Chains A and B, each alone.
Chain A
Amino acid sequence: MAVTASTTTPVCVGDRLGASDAYEAGEGVFIRDGFLFAGVVGHRRIEAPRPPLDGGKPVLHVTTRGTQPLVPKPGDIVTVKISRVTQTTALALIVCVGRQALTTEFKGAIRQQDVRATEIDRVILYDCFRPGDIVRAEVLSLGDARSYYLSTAKNELGVVYARSAAAGAPLVPNGWVTMQCPETQTVEKRKVAKVVSGWEDITPGK
């Protein structure tokens, strides 16, 4: 439900929307020479300032209908699929950013020191991730030309879905570092994510 008055004026790229001393720039909007301009084609929307900045200016957004082209940014929570595990890094394919699926995968890497917050030099990567695991991670930085650097060093980050090596059945989490196969009862080691319902716990504040 819209909390604030919203105009549904369609705007095009390059349209001047307002002065920068009257509005803040939101999504799809950029500032040049003291004015706000639309950067995408969509609907112009005004949002009242949120609680921490009550006295501030209203925010101007341009919302598009479909999904906008998306690229992982530092701080984003991403869903990745592990492709290869070596002694020092786990290589992964970034499949989703937040709630949005990417059209093509981006490459990411989870380094040994970024797997968990404690005892980071004693990590055995093969006991944390296996190829094929679906992992929730946070983007640390743009990394190098080859891959983004990812981290799972928080309670809510880590393996969210894995298949058992023996039977191929989805593993059931058994604590922070183990998961169990429901069919063969074998216990496998993983860096398990503590998943609270929904995405509210990890949606980055925008």
Chain B
Amino acid sequence: METSTSGNRADGRGLEEFRTVFIKTRVLSQAKGSAYVEFGTTKVMVGVFGPRQSEVKLGFTDRGRVNCEVRFTSFSAHKLAKSGQTQSDSSAAQAMQQALEPSVQLEKFPKAVFDVSAMVLEAGGSDLPILITAASVALADAGVELYDLVPAVQLSKQAGQLLLDPSLEESGAEEGSLLVSLMPEPNEVTSLTVRGLWADSEMRDGLELALGACGQLKAAMREALLAAVEGEEDPAK
């Protein structure tokens, strides 16, 4: 699939436009917190469980941990995949953990572990940043004490252009990619993954675009979280 040189992408989006974003919290009644997120066709579901006591073999920790698990369902891709944990599952889980841990107030939970369990129902592109975003919303929904939300975005570099939130087809044709996850309030980047060759100016533009997009995304996350709270009465009354 070609990206049209006039600046409009195959699905009619502008270069700096997200796909249609949908975020909903409290979707799993058994989990402490949960979120269902859709970006275009990519569909992700995350549940947060815990805190539970950390395993003894890891020794005494005065800080808590976040244990991430990712599962790509067998029907998430074009071809029916075999079930069971694959390498991409565990590398996605590690990346998620790295992006999320700085946002959690772990000193408040010594010796405890939070289990963040994510499932990708449809892998339509930019799966990892969407997983991180959804997990951050689920953690906030669970009432875990955080420093900030962690929106994450991916950029694709193609023919001298930067595409925000690439779809699966766009990622397939890219020359390089950039994944940024950010805590907007303290303005701290929690993870940065760069693929391909980037000139200094391209990197600068890319980061500027990504950081701005993260700020936009946080507004959507915030809206979804507050929508769930707005319906309730102030528990102090």
Contact = CB atoms under 8 A, between A and B. Distances in A.
Interface in B175-196: 183-186
B144 A43 contact: no
Nearest to B136: A13
Given A2-B236, A43-B235, A71-B109, A12 B143 contact: no
Given A10-B229, A30-B105, A145-B58, A41 B236 contact: no
A104 B50 contact: yes
A41 B234 contact: no
B236 A12 contact: no
Contact of B143 (A2, A69, A142): A69
Given A13-B146, A107-B53, A63 B222 contact: no
- Sorting the interface of chain A by its residue count into under 10, 10 to 19, 20 to 34 or 35 or more gives 35 or more
Contact of A41 (B51, B114, B225, B233): B225
A96 to B, nearest CB: 15
Interface residues of B, number: 48
Contacts of A198: none
Contacts of B222: 12
A99 B52 CA distance: 18
B1 interface: no
Interface in A61-97: 63-71
A42 interface: yes
Contacts of B143: 40-42, 64, 66-69
A103 B229 contact: no
Interface in B44-69: 49-54, 56, 58-62, 64
Interface in B159-210: 183-186
B108 interface: yes
A63 B61 CA distance: 28
A69 B112 CA distance: 10
Given A14-B185, A145-B56, A64 B109 contact: no
A16 interface: yes
Interface in A3-37: 6, 8, 10-14, 16, 28, 30, 32, 37
22 contacts: A8-B233, A12-B225, A13-B140, A14-B147, A14-B148, A14-B183, A30-B145, A39-B147, A42-B143, A63-B235, A64-B143, A65-B235, A67-B143, A70-B51, A71-B51, A71-B64, A71-B110, A104-B51, A106-B52, A106-B53, A106-B111, A145-B59
